[in-house]
């Protein structure tokens, strides 16, 4: 018994918390607290799931990862939730010829397209929007990404998180849905994070990461979109009276 356990213990894929930091390549996100919690950043290959509402800065968070590495390769957007705007890409730091948008007809087609992109060796990063990914599909994407030196960012809506935490599902008649959602927390992927918005900040919950501990509520303050701070500041520091402002000499 002991012997067989020790054999198992030698398996290189078993990670122990006491192990030293792995020597895999990481891409820094550029936010010190988050990078520290992730042991240096996002792994350079594999599948990363981000559960978030659309429009909270979930793409801007990965700006450095998307723009600063393997710049000769494509960044593919599969099934995006709207029309991707080229000036925004330019502001982010992506060249137009480096970007490819794929509009598949169905969920299955978008998963197929993602796998093809990862396997093609022409892609640096595949950004995929999908509502539900089961264990088998996640495993396929993870293997395709790690074997071909590519990264896959999977954006899913936050509902999945709620069902996992044990909230009763509204529609229980669908018996198939429940087991797939339960196994959902155990997706064989590199990193699983959830995002929550705060005014001018973003709270990151690391739900699961390979070779590391989960950590909750890492707050990142950002200014990814312009704001009216300058005007507010000017109004607050205005020492002139109204009359002086409008006076005509």
Which residues of this protein are in contact with another protein, per CB under 8 A?
A: 53-60, 70, 72-74, 80-91, 96-97, 99-105, 109, 112-113, 116-117, 120-123, 149, 197-200, 202, 224-228
Contacting residues for 63 by C-beta, under 8 A, at least 6 apart:
30, 92, 93
CB of 113 to another protein, least distance (A): 6
Other C-beta atoms lying within 10 Å of the C-beta of residue 65 = 21
CB of 249 to another protein, least distance (A): 30
Q: Which is nearer to another protein, 149 or 211 (CB)?
A: 149
CB of 10 to another protein, least distance (A): 31
Q: Which is nearer to another protein, 88 or 213 (CB)?
A: 88
CB of 3 to another protein, least distance (A): 42
Q: Which is nearer to another protein, 96 or 165 (CB)?
A: 96
Residues in the chain: 249
Residue where the block lists tokens 């990193």? 191
Other C-beta atoms lying within 10 Å of the C-beta of residue 110 = 19
26-27 and 123-129 as β-strands: parallel, antiparallel, unpaired?
unpaired
Q: Which is nearer to another protein, 105 or 168 (CB)?
A: 105
Contact 78, 104 (CB under 8 A): yes
């Amino acid at each position: 018994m002991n012997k067989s356990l020790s054999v198992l213990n030698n398996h290189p894929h078993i990670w122990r918390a006491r192990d030293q930091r792995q020597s895999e390549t990481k891409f820094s996100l550029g936010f010190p607290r988050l990078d520290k919690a992730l042991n240096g950043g996002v792994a350079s290959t594999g599948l990363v799931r981000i559960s978030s509402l659309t429009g909270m800065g979930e793409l801007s968070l990965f700006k450095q990862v998307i723009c600063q590495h393997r710049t000769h390769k494509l960044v593919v957007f599969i099934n995006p939730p709207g029309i991707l705007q080229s000036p925004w890409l330019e502001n982010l730091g992506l060249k137009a010829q480096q970007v490819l948008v794929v509009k598949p007809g169905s969920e299955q087609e978008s998963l197929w397209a993602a796998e093809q992109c990862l396997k093609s060796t022409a892609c640096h990063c595949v950004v995929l929007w999908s509502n539900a990914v089961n264990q088998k599909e996640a495993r396929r994407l993870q293997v395709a990404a790690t074997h071909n030196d590519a990264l896959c960012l999977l954006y899913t809506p936050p509902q999945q998180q709620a069902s996992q935490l044990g909230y009763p599902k509204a529609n229980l008649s669908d018996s198939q849905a429940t087991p797939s959602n339960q196994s959902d927390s155990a997706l064989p992927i590199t990193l699983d994070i959830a995002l929550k918005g705060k005014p001018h900040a973003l709270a990151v919950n690391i739900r699961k990461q390979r070779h590391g501990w989960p950590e909750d509520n890492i707050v990142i303050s950002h200014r990814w979109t312009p704001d009216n701070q300058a005007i507010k500041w000017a109004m607050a520091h205005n020492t002139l009276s109204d009359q002086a402002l409008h006076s005509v000499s």
